[in-house]
């Protein structure tokens, strides 16, 4: 696999993470489903994984960047598993709506596993690492858009979390924003 193809696949991967984060925002803003603390941390884990992919796009593919993506995804998966275990026994309730029969934290777990598998498969190709990347090479339109969108979504999460939790920790089951009210 050439470095160019690797960069394209990384771009598509980052766009996939961006899509998931956007859907989480749609669920939060449009449907009014406020994220719990573990849900917020799952988003952070996906962003941590996305950082590794973004580094692949900006600096060219490196095994260490895939390592960052895998570590971030494993952290996100761990947080998801914790939330799945909280509700795994029938009758112990659940958090948020289900999509296609699975709750969002279960989808987050599956998506994190997909990132780990995807990164592992990408690591199988050595040729992408043998091509030297120009240190000041400009990004093409699609990779540039993917990284920019990812940065914007990360910044949006800062504002969203501050609005929801203020400067401290988040409530376990939030029913309104800390900084303003949507239930009036």
d(CA 48, CA 64): 13
As beta bridge partners, residue 98 has 103
Q: Which region, judged by CB under 8 A, interacts with another protein, from 25-33, 104-112, 114-122, 159-167? A: 159-167
- Asked if 101 and 43 touch (Cβ cutoff 8 Å), the reply is no
- Asked if 66 and 122 touch (Cβ cutoff 8 Å), the reply is yes
Q: Is 55 in the site for another protein (CB under 8 A)?
A: yes
Q: Which region, judged by CB under 8 A, interacts with another protein, from 3-11, 33-41, 96-104, 113-121? A: 33-41
SS3 99: strand
Residues 59-88 that bind another protein (CB under 8 A): 59, 68, 71-72, 75, 78-79, 82, 85-86, 88
d(CA 80, CA 38): 8
Q: Which region, judged by CB under 8 A, interacts with another protein, from 1-9, 22-30, 110-118, 160-168? A: 160-168
> Quick one: tokens of 146?
């993917």
Minimum Å gap between C-beta 58 and another protein is 5
Q: Is 92 in the site for another protein (CB under 8 A)?
A: yes
């Amino acid at each position: 696999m050439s470095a160019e193809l690797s960069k394209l696949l990384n771009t598509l991967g980052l766009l996939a993470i961006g899509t998931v984060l956007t859907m989480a925002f749609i669920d939060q803003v449009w449907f009014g489903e406020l994220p719990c603390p573990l849900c917020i941390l799952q988003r952070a884990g996906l962003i941590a994984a996305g950082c590794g992919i973004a580094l692949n796009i900006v600096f060219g593919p490196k095994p260490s960047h895939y390592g960052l993506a895998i570590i971030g995804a494993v952290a996100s998966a761990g947080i998801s598993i914790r939330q799945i275990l909280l509700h795994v026994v029938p009758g112990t309730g659940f958090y948020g709506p289900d999509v296609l029969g699975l709750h969002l934290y279960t989808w987050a777990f599956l998506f994190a596993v997909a990132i780990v598998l995807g990164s592992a498969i990408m690591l199988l190709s050595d040729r992408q690492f043998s091509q030297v990347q120009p240190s000041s090479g400009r990004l093409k339109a699609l990779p540039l858009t993917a990284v920019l969108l990812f940065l914007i979504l990360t910044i949006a999460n800062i504002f969203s979390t501050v609005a929801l939790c203020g400067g401290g920790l988040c409530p376990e089951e939030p029913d309104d924003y800390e900084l303003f009210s949507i239930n009036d």
